[in-house]
């Protein structure tokens, strides 16, 4: 197997990596994630020669044959340009590596068939086995137990890992129970808990920006930073995922994982090095420093809301309760705003405002860092505005910094000028999809961009009191029309402190 850089940031590009000799088993392969993310990512990795000597086994209930799976996979990929034989060849060679096992997740016979496929693969040199659980969380334990029952009969020398999709548990207690269960079968170093935000180049760039430049770190603290705003806004609604979303809601679906990871990368202390354990330990310290959401703060510092019918880009869209798979009286939140305080020496006194929502007016994920104004206003007019550093996670990946600048002419008045960097124009190569990076890393045994059990549990410990209070009805669920910037209560959460959210 090719050598792997020990950390995600050391090589700048992933091009030197190549995973060789593996079988990837995707449980729940007939689902949405395979169509939208896994198959396109795997094909792209294969077409760019990052994968070698491998096979992919789809495992799900539907009664597909190998050929049916291949033609489904074909429909998940864009067509090769007409007349481009190299592309057609890459596509055919990828599809030829796909196989399918039709079985329910609890049928031992299905796993006997899987054992035969994995054993034959190992005999032909495919010694790495990656189990990818892309199923509803209710099936995790059954699948893991059944895998556990066949593992002892795999040929010696195989190297197994398991990837688990979020949400990992429904709260601290169930996450701990799930961990205990999985640890009966897999050691921690074999467990890859995926948070696809960590696979995004723009997210990895937060650490590169902070610790790869001497300029910002000395002022990266509450003495110089007034507040930090983290936004993940989507125009999409729940689409076909109403069933799943009803049991998750935005707090479990996005805040506990993606937004908390963004917060941790922004707030963490410099790690000693870029090894997985060093980064994970520093992130976990941030989660442990978050001021608990006690009873007094739940009403003032948390907002939950649900979208009602409205208009997005001129098109009328239904309210959440009218979506497929959603209960007509559903209390599930599709929008969350929180004021998070990190009680560490570095951050005491600087609030982190988090907001996330579906059916907002535009798709935008960013982190805005507001620096304090100069202590003395000596310039005429409105004077110096706050300097704002914005990490644009997506779209238009990049970052910008606003700097007050003298307006040309006879006055000394200022106006903010924007220093802007875009990945699109700054580098020749487009960023790779997060799933490409993460799948490749799991195949190569590099967990740096996956989350540890300690991190997941620390996040739940923050979230649990919010969930309990919301379930008991405090604060009340608000409503916002699809296409609006969210509920008034979110505006009030920051307005109370003399602040305004960035425009969506
Ligand atoms: C997923 C959530 O983890 O992230 C979805 O389950 C959400 O509800 C998605 O839409 C957003 O991901 P991205 O990469 O499009 O910002």
Q: Give pLDDT tens digits for 434-446.
A: 999 999 999 999 9
**Which numbered atom of ligand 1 lies nearest the CA of 257?**
3
Token pair recorded at residue 485: 């910037």
Candidate of 197, 201, 234 to mutate for ligand 1, largest count of ligand atoms within 8 Å of Cβ:
234
Residue 88 confidence (pLDDT)? 86
Residue in 145, 317, 331, 340 with CA at minimum distance from that of residue 256: 340
Residue 82 confidence (pLDDT)? 60
DSSP H helices in 2-97: 32-33, 39-47, 66-75, 85-95
Residue 308 confidence (pLDDT)? 98
**258 Cα: distance to centroid of ligand 1 (angstroms):** 9
**Which numbered atom of ligand 1 lies nearest the CA of 248?**
6
**Which numbered atom of ligand 1 lies nearest the CA of 234?**
10
Regarding the beta carbon of 234 and ligand 1, being less than 6 Å apart is answered: yes
Beta bridge partners of 405: 415
pLDDT tens-digit map of 184-221 = 999 999 999 999 999 999 999 999 999 999 999 999 99
pLDDT tens-digit map of 224-258 = 999 999 999 999 999 989 999 999 999 999 999 99
Active-site residue among 48, 183, 196, 258? Answer: 258
Residue 115 confidence (pLDDT)? 98
Torsion angles phi and psi, residue 491, rounded to 5: -60, -45
Residue in 100, 104, 84 with CA at minimum distance from that of residue 92: 84
Residue 257 confidence (pLDDT)? 97
The predicted model gives 367-392 an average pLDDT of 96
Residue in 327, 312, 329, 342 with CA at minimum distance from that of residue 242: 327
- Beta strand extents in 216-363 (DSSP E only): 225-233, 302-308, 310-312, 315-317, 335-341, 351-357
Q: Is the pLDDT of residue 99 over 80?
A: yes
Distance CA 349, CA 471 (A): 29
**356 Cα: distance to centroid of ligand 1 (angstroms):** 11
Minimum CA distance residue for ligand 1 atom 13: 197
Residue 83 confidence (pLDDT)? 66
**409 Cα: distance to centroid of ligand 1 (angstroms):** 48
- Could you give the percent of the chain with pLDDT greater than 70? 96
The residues, any chain, with a CB within 8 Å of residue 486's CB and separated by 6 or more, are: 305, 335, 337, 355, 357, 360, 480, 504
Beta bridge partners of 480: 307
- Residue 352: count other Cβ atoms within 10 Å of its Cβ: 22
Candidate of 258, 320, 334, 394 to mutate for ligand 1, largest count of ligand atoms within 8 Å of Cβ:
258
The predicted model gives 136-153 an average pLDDT of 95
Distance of alpha carbon 246 from the chain centroid: 19
**366 Cα: distance to centroid of ligand 1 (angstroms):** 14
* Residue 258 is a catalytic residue: yes
Q: Is the pLDDT of residue 1 over 70?
A: no
Mean pLDDT of the chain: 94
Residue 81 confidence (pLDDT)? 60
Strand 128-133 vs strand 159-164: parallel, antiparallel, or unpaired?
parallel
Residue 2 — pLDDT band, cuts 50, 70, 90? very low
Q: Is the pLDDT of residue 79 over 80?
A: no
The predicted model gives 279-298 an average pLDDT of 96
Regarding the beta carbon of 195 and ligand 1, being less than 6 Å apart is answered: no
**Which numbered atom of ligand 1 lies nearest the CA of 236?**
10
Fold of 19-165: Rossmann fold (3.40.50)
Number of helical H runs and strand E runs in the chain: 16, 17
**346 Cα: distance to centroid of ligand 1 (angstroms):** 30
Distance CA 321, CA 319 (A): 6
The answer to whether the bond into 230 is cis (omega within 30° of 0) is: no
Strand 478-481 vs strand 302-308: parallel, antiparallel, or unpaired?
parallel
Q: Is the pLDDT of residue 37 over 80?
A: yes
Tell me whether residue 152 is exposed, middle or buried, using C-beta atoms within 10 angstroms of its C-beta: 0 to 12, 13 to 18, 19 or more. exposed
**407 Cα: distance to centroid of ligand 1 (angstroms):** 42
Minimum CA distance residue for ligand 1 atom 8: 253
Residue in 186, 158, 132, 136 with CA at minimum distance from that of residue 441: 132
pLDDT tens-digit map of 396-433 = 999 999 999 999 999 999 999 999 999 988 888 778 89
**34 Cα: distance to centroid of ligand 1 (angstroms):** 14
The predicted model gives 111-125 an average pLDDT of 97
**Which numbered atom of ligand 1 lies nearest the CA of 253?**
6
Minimum CA distance residue for ligand 1 atom 6: 253
The domain spans of the chain are 19-165, 198-373+449-495
Residue in 404, 457, 395, 392 with CA at minimum distance from that of residue 229: 392
Of 3.30.360.10, 3.90.660.10, 3.30.70.1730, 3.40.50.2300, the CATH number of 198-373+449-495 is: 3.30.360.10
Candidate of 253, 332, 367, 451 to mutate for ligand 1, largest count of ligand atoms within 8 Å of Cβ:
253
Is there a contact between 299 and 351 (Cβ–Cβ < 8 Å)? no
Regarding the beta carbon of 386 and ligand 1, being less than 6 Å apart is answered: no
**362 Cα: distance to centroid of ligand 1 (angstroms):** 14
Candidate of 203, 244, 254 to mutate for ligand 1, largest count of ligand atoms within 8 Å of Cβ:
254
Residue 80 confidence (pLDDT)? 64
Would you give the end-to-end CA distance of the chain in angstroms?
A: 46
Q: Is the pLDDT of residue 14 over 60?
A: no
**214 Cα: distance to centroid of ligand 1 (angstroms):** 33
pLDDT tens-digit map of 53-73 = 999 999 999 999 999 999 999
**Which numbered atom of ligand 1 lies nearest the CA of 241?**
8
Minimum CA distance residue for ligand 1 atom 14: 197
pLDDT tens-digit map of 163-179 = 999 989 999 999 999 99
**Which numbered atom of ligand 1 lies nearest the CA of 195?**
3
Regarding the beta carbon of 253 and ligand 1, being less than 6 Å apart is answered: yes
Token pair recorded at residue 390: 């914005």
The residues, any chain, with a CB within 8 Å of residue 479's CB and separated by 6 or more, are: 305, 306, 307, 308, 487
CA distance readout (Å), 299 to 338, 354, 355, 373? 10, 15, 16, 30
Distance CA 152, CA 330 (A): 45
3-state helix, strand, coil in the chain (%, to 5): 40, 25, 40
């Amino acid at each position: 197997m090719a050598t792997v850089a020990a950390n995600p940031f050391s090589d700048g590009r992933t091009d030197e990596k190549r995973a060789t000799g593996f079988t990837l088993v995707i449980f729940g392969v007939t689902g949405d994630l395979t169509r939208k993310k896994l198959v396109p990512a795997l094909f792209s990795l294969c077409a760019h020669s990052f994968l070698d000597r491998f096979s992919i086994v789809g495992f799900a209930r539907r009664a597909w044959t190998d050929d049916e799976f291949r033609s489904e996979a074909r429909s998940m990929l864009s067509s090769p340009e007409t007349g481009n034989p190299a592309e057609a060849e890459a596509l055919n060679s990828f599809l030829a590596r796909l196989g399918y096992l039709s079985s329910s997740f609890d049928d031992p016979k299905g796993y006997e068939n899987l054992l035969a496929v994995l054993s034959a693969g190992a005999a032909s040199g495919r010694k790495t086995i990656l189990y990818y659980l892309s199923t509803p969380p209710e099936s995790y334990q059954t699948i893991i137990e059944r895998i556990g029952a066949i593992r002892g009969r795999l040929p010696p020398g195989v190297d197994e890992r398991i990837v688990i999709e979020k949400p990992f548990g429904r709260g601290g207690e169930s996450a701990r129970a799930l961990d205990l269960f999985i640890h009966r079968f897999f050691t921690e170093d074999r467990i890859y808990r995926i948070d696809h935000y960590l696979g995004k180049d723009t997210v990895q760039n937060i650490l590169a920006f902070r610790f790869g430049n001497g300029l910002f770190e000395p002022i990266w603290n509450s003495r110089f930073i007034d507040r930090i705003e983290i936004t993940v806004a989507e125009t999409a609604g729940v689409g076909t995922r109403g069933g799943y979303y009803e049991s998750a809601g935005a707090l479990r679906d996005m805040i506990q994982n993606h937004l908390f990871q963004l917060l941790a990368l922004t707030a963490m202390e410099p790690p000693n090095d870029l090894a997985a354990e060093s980064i994970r330990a520093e992130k976990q310290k941030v989660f442990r420093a978050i001021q608990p959401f006690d009873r007094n703060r739940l009403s003032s510092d948390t907002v939950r809301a649900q979208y009602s019918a409205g208009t997005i880009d001129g098109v009328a869209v239904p309210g959440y309760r009218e979506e497929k798979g959603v209960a007509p009286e559903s209390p599930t939140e599709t929008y969350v705003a929180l004021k998070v305080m990190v009680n560490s020496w570095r951050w005491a006194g600087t609030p982190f405002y988090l907001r996330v929502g579906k059916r907002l007016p535009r798709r935008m994920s960013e982190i805005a860092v507001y620096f304090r104004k100069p202590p003395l206003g000596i310039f005429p007019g409105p004077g110096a505005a706050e300097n704002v550093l914005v990490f644009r996670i997506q779209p238009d990946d990049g970052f910008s910094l606003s700097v007050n600048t003298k307006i040309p002419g006879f006055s000394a008045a200022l106006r903010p000028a924007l220093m802007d960097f875009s990945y699109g124009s700054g580098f020749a190569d487009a960023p790779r999809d997060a799933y490409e990076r993460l799948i490749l890393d799991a195949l190569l045994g590099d967990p740096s961009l996956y989350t540890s059990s300690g991190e997941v549990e620390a996040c739940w410990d923050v979230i649990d009191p919010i969930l309990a209070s919301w379930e008991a009805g405090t604060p009340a669920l608000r409503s916002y029309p699809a296409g609006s910037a969210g509920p008034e209560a979110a505006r009030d959460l920051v307005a109370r402190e003399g602040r305004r959210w960035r425009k969506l």
